[in-house]
Chain A
C-alpha cells in the first residue's frame, strides 16, 4: 500500500488493532475493532474510534483534528487487509456512525482501491440495494470479501 500509514499492534486471536495518531493535538490512541455480528456467517463489523484512557471509553464521534486523516484512513485500510489475511473467509462490513463518517470510510476505500481491487470485492449499499462499489458514488454501508 503506497499511502503513508501508522504502524499498528495486533496479537493473534485478538480482534482489535491499536495505533497512535500523531499531530498538533498530540498522540491519540486509535482502536479498530472487528466484531463478529452474525452467528451463521463470518460477518464482522468494523468499528473505529479514539480511546480515552481517562474515561476508559471509545469515542467514535470525536474529531481529533490531528491533521492526519489520510494517514489514519490508510492505517485502517491496512488493518482490514491484515485481518483478511488472517480470516480469508471473513466478510467485513463498514458503516460510519454518521453520514460524514461513512464518507470518510469511502475515502479510505478510494485510497486503496487500485491496490486491492484484484484481491478484494467491495460492495456498497445504495438506493435500497447492495451493488458493486463505484468510486464517486455515495453509499450507506460497505462490505468487503476476498475474491
Chain B
C-alpha cells in the first residue's frame, strides 16, 4: 500500500457520525493513514530516503 492510495481514503476521517469504536480495523487504518501527522511524517521519511538512500549492502533482500 502506498501513500498515493492512502490519500484517496481521507474522506473517512470526516465521517464523524460514526463512533470510532464502531469502525472496522480497515476503516481505522484508512483513518490513521489519512491523518495529516502520519501523512507528513511519511512524506518526510520518503524525502529523507531519497536524499539519503539506504546503502544496498545494508539491505539483504
Contacts and interface: CB of A to CB of B under 8 A. Distances in A.
Contacts of A58: 32, 35, 37-38
B37 A15 contact: no
Main secondary structure, interface of B, reads: helix
Interface in B34-61: 35-38, 40-42, 44-46, 48-49, 52, 54-55, 58-61
A132 B10 CA distance: 37
Interface in B1-60: 1-3, 6, 13, 16, 20, 25-26, 28-29, 31-33, 35-38, 40-42, 44-46, 48-49, 52, 54-55, 58-60
B49 A93 contact: yes
A57 B35 contact: yes
Contacts of B54: 43, 91, 123, 130, 143
B45 A95 contact: yes
Contacts, number: 96
A97 B41 contact: yes
A125 B48 CA distance: 10
Name the prevailing secondary structure of the A interface residues: strand
A1 B41 CA distance: 28
Nearest to B55: A130
A107 interface: no
A47 B49 contact: no
Interface string A115-147: 000000101010010100000000001010100
B49 to A, nearest CB: 7
Contacts of A91: 54, 59
23 contacts: A14-B29, A15-B1, A15-B29, A16-B28, A33-B38, A35-B38, A37-B42, A37-B49, A41-B61, A43-B49, A45-B46, A47-B41, A51-B32, A56-B20, A57-B13, A57-B35, A57-B37, A91-B54, A93-B45, A97-B41, A123-B58, A130-B58, A143-B58
A89 interface: yes
Interface in A5-59: 11, 14-16, 18, 31, 33, 35-39, 41-43, 45, 47, 49, 51, 53, 56-59
